[in-house]
Structure 1
């Protein structure tokens, strides 16, 4: 990969491909934690030449598994642009050591997920995440940070993820037509509700930082 192609988006994908936390990735590259955080929040930024060289070296020295994951992210991004896939905003709402979940019901299929809503063209994903959380669960929340986005490996929808702070409200099932239940789940027991391999890695990193 040519160094001139590196952007904040590519750097964040490389972090995900290594499955590193921000701290681990900063240590791996020998750059500041602030730089690593800025890449995820400013995906279109172009790092300085020396930083691009560092990223290029890290990629060249990475194992096959890391390279395959990185290539998957880049291809998925191209597919996302080409297909103009459905956009979904997902809210990861924290309250102390708990996270808000909804139990989706699709016929006999039941699965626990984070509150989510479809983003209409030109709409704000952050606002949708907050609004859908309130509509589905009765919980008022506010966005703390955007974690990133990915082309969902199963639904093929573009998913944008937001860590949100609990403001107020009792957790209730506000959409019985789609959801079987709503619950505050202990973060330490999250894998009992959602298999870890199905969770976007930055979500796990963000939640682990609160436990």
Structure 2
């Protein structure tokens, strides 16, 4: 059997399922960050970049026959509605709105046409603190240390369907740099008054705007 011409978030996830691996195990096998695997789960229509396509090709080609068979069985269309697998529980992502004076910290994601500039974010594993994840992922992605001031609330993200858990954070220390070049292509402090030039106002969670105005 031949694989599809282009991998998507959905088919990459199916390959992971065929290997019967967790997100961390699949990321380690591919030599990429767990955040990339999480993004494939959150964005089924996403087409990874060319080098990631090649990496998935190689991983599939080197898999044994049992893995390939499971992949194709998982990828086959169901014969009846009863065969449709139930959707997994939505992923929870902690989002950090980091404020430094009149500026807000943003990152620009690679390879996702649905989202360009956004706030630093990270997956919240079962049992983990969303506030701690917001602080840790901000430092991992940007080199900036921050502390959560307050939780702003949560919603189903309108673009990727994950549960987005928002936290207003105070800047503590660190120079903003792109520390995850596989995921991001830029990190930037943006004036709060100019935020709408990077993220359309109608896509920003309203409590974020209210918190920034109050600050």
In the superposition, the TM-score normalised over structure 1's length comes to 0.59
Matched residues, number: 129
Answer whether contact 2:114 2:159 (CA < 8 A) is retained: no
Q: Distance in 1 between matches of 2:113 and 2:160?
A: 18
Residue 106 of structure 1 aligns to a residue in which SS? Answer: coil
- Of 95, 106, 109, the residue aligned with 1:90 is 95
How far 1:83 moved relative to its partner? 5.5
**Deviation >3 Å, runs of 4+:** 107-110
Residue 96 of structure 2 aligns to a residue in which SS? Answer: strand
Larger Rg: 2
Residues 194, 106 of structure 1: alpha-carbon distance in 2 compared, 3 angstrom cutoff: same
Q: Distance in 2 between matches of 1:107 and 1:86?
A: 17
How far 1:154 moved relative to its partner? 2.1
Deviations 1:167-191 (A, max 9, x none): 0000000100010100000000000
In the superposition, the TM-score normalised over structure 2's length comes to 0.58
Deviations 1:61-96 (A, max 9, x none): xxxxxxxxxxxxxxxxxxxxx952100000000000
Determine the structure 2 residue equivalent to 1:195.
Answer: 200
Trace 1:1-211 onto structure 2 (pairs within 5 A).
84-106=89-111, 111-210=116-215
Q: Distance in 2 between matches of 1:107 and 1:160?
A: 20
Tell me the C-alpha RMSD between the 2 structures. Answer: 1.6
Unaligned segments of structure 1, at least 5 residues: 1-81
